[in-house]
């Protein structure tokens, strides 16, 4: 699974906007304020979607575990990553990349 923030990702429209000739003349403070506003909106939406995704995955995983236990005893050792663990890890990686992209735009993301 690729990162949604990469070169072909969600920030391409913002990069294109900021590189346009009209916006190139904006003062640095105004450009930073624009990027910060866009980033805040993107973060809020991403957070809502991530929370919804994780809730759905956990519910589905829980249901599948109950069905599996009802059919057979658990033969695994439980050391493998669950789907929700994998998705959580990918979301973490995506957010880290988003932060790096924001730094490239001149915005210091909060931890």
Question: Does residue 71 register a pLDDT over 60?
Answer: yes
Classified as helix, coil or strand, 76 is coil
pLDDT (tens digit per residue) in 5-46: 555 577 888 888 888 888 888 898 888 888 889 888 888 998
User: What sign does the CA torsion over 20, 21, 27, 30 have?
Assistant: negative
Q: Please tell me the predicted confidence (pLDDT) of residue 57.
A: 92
| Average pLDDT of the residues in 38-65 | 90
Which residues make Cβ contacts (< 8 Å) with residue 87, sequence separation at least 6? 53, 54, 57
For residue 1, the model assigns a pLDDT of 47
Structure tokens at 93: 């990686």
The percentage of residues in the chain with a pLDDT greater than 90, rounded to a whole number, is: 19
């Amino acid at each position: 699974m690729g990162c949604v923030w990469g070169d072909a990702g969600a920030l391409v429209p913002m990069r294109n906007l900021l590189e346009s000739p009209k916006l190139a003349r904006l003062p640095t403070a105004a450009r930073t304020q624009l990027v910060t506003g866009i980033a805040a909106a993107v973060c809020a939406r991403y957070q809502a979607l991530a929370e919804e995704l994780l809730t759905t995955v956990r519910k589905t995983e829980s249901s599948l575990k109950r069905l599996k236990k009802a059919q057979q005893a658990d033969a695994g050792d439980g050391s493998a990553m669950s789907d929700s663990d994998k998705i959580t890890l990918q979301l973490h990686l995506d957010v880290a990349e988003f932060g790096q992209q924001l730094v490239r735009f001149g915005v210091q993301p909060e931890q």
